[in-house]
Amino acid sequence: MELKSVTEDDAEFLFELLKQREGRVNISHKSTPDWEEHLQYVKNHDYQSWDIIWIDETRVGNIYLTKKDEIGIFIDKNFQSKGHGSEAIEQFMEKNGKKRYLANINPTNYKSIQFFGKHGFLHIQNTYHKKFD
């Protein structure tokens, strides 16, 4: 496995991943951007670090670190539950060298709760939000 910084060449793969994002795993409830918005985001993103997860010549997912040290990870559904997420998060945390990482997890996303728990993340708070349209 190799983690490589996101470039414009990855935009199409990342757009496909976005389409896979189900409502229940999307805690921020953002609507899916269109292609142009997505491309602009890939070019001008504000993550500290954003990598594509490669297995040989294949992109299997992406992992990012926000400026608040929150990790987000998404593995292509065809490659989930094969150990790739585990290898990627361990490599990513080592590479970024922080003393503390956060993860915002939707409480209905069982797989993700199991995943972060397995990697030593402890539950510290529940955040509520109220939206005005």
Ligand X SMILES: CC(C)(COP(=O)(O)OP(=O)(O)OC[C@H]1O[C@@H](n2cnc3c(N)ncnc32)[C@H](O)[C@@H]1OP(=O)(O)O)[C@@H](O)C(=O)NCCC(=O)NCCS
Single residue of 14, 50, 59, 85 touching ligand X by CB under 6 A: 85
Query: Two tokens at 58?
Result: 């294949």
Q: Are 69 and 102 in contact (CB under 8 A)?
A: yes
65 binds ligand X (CB under 6 A): no
Site of tokens 């998060």: 89
Task: Work out how close the CB of 107 gets to ligand X at its nearest, in angstroms, rounded to a whole number.
Answer: 12
Q: Applying CB under 6 A, which part among 5-13, 36-44, 72-80, 121-129 lies near ligand X?
A: 72-80
Q: Applying CB under 6 A, which part among 4-12, 38-46, 82-90, 125-133 lies near ligand X?
A: 82-90
49 Cβ contact partners less than 8 Å away, ≥ 6 residues apart: 5, 64, 65, 92, 95, 96
Single residue of 25, 39, 55, 102 touching ligand X by CB under 6 A: 25
Half-sphere CA count of 87, side-chain side, radius 13 A: 16
Single residue of 40, 81, 98, 123 touching ligand X by CB under 6 A: 81
